[in-house]
Structure 1
C-alpha cells in the first residue's frame, strides 16, 4: 500500500522533532519535540504512529544518557573543586583544568551529534516511506 505524502511528511517531522525540540529547550526538549508531533498525529496514520514511537523512544534514550553523563560530570566537578580549594590552590587563577571534566563534557556533545545524525537518517527513510529502527534505543513506549 502506497503511503500518502502527508503521512511521509509527518513521519519525517516526528524524527526531526527531537532536533527541533532540543534547539528550543536544551533540557528535555528533544523528547518534548518528538512527543508533541507524535501525539498530535498518531491517530491519523499507522505509519506516523510507528515512526513516532520509534522517535520518542530514541529521544528518551538520548535524554537519559545525557542526564547520566551530566550527573557524573557534576560529581567530578564537585570533587575537583573541593580538592583544589582544600589543597590551597586556586583552580581559576592557575588554569589547572582537569581532563576528566572535559571528557565528560565531550560525551554530551557526542550524544548530541549521534542524535543529529540518526534523526536525520531516520527522517530521510521516513520521507521515502520506509520504517526506520534506531540502532540503539530503549523501547519505553510500546
Structure 2
C-alpha cells in the first residue's frame, strides 16, 4: 500500500464514527469506525493504530451516551414518582432540554475530535484522542 492510500484510509477510519453516528445514533459510531478499521487493519500498521484510536474514542462516546440515558431515566423516574398525583408538569421541559443538550455535546465532541483526527491522519501524523478509554489494544 502506498503512503497516500495509507493516509486516506487513516482519515476514513476517523470519519467512520461520524458517518456511523449519523446513520444509527447510539451504536452506529462504533460500527462505522469498526468496519473501516477491519477493512484495512492488516494492510498497514498506521491504519491499524489509527483504527484502534478511533474505535476506542467511539466506544467511549457510546458509554457516555448510555450514562446520560441512565441518568435521564433515573431523573425522569424520580420526577414522575414525586409528581404522580400532582398535575404540575411545568418543569418537565427543563429536564428534556438538559439531557438533549448533553447528547448534543457528545455529538459535537465526536464531530470536532474525529475531524481533527482525520486531518492529522491525512497529513500522515498519528492522532491520539484526548478523551478516550483505551479498550481495544
Same fold by TM-score, threshold 0.5 exceeded? Answer: yes
Alignment partner, residue 70 of structure 2: 71
Runs of 4+ in structure 1 off by over 6 angstroms are none
Distance 1:77 1:127 in 2: 44
- TM-score of the two chains, using structure 2 as the length reference: 0.92
Q: How many aligned positions are there?
A: 136
TM-score (ref. length: structure 1): 0.89
Q: CA deviation at 1:72?
A: 0.4
2:26 counterpart SS class: coil
* Native 8 Å contact 2:26 2:65 kept in 1: no
Could you list the per-position Cα deviations for residues 22-52 of structure 1 after superposition, in whole angstroms to 9, with x for gaps in the alignment?
A: 1111121101100011011100111100100
CA distance in 1, matches of 2:22, 2:127: 23
CA RMSD of aligned residues (A): 1.4
What SS does structure 2 have at the residue aligned with 1:89? Answer: coil
Q: Answer with 1 or 2: which has the greater Rg.
A: 1
Unaligned runs of 5+ in 2: none
Query: How far has the Cα of 1:98 moved from its partner?
Result: 5.6
Question: Could you tell me which residue of structure 2 aligns to residue 47 of structure 1?
Answer: 46
Are 1:102 and 2:102 an aligned pair? no
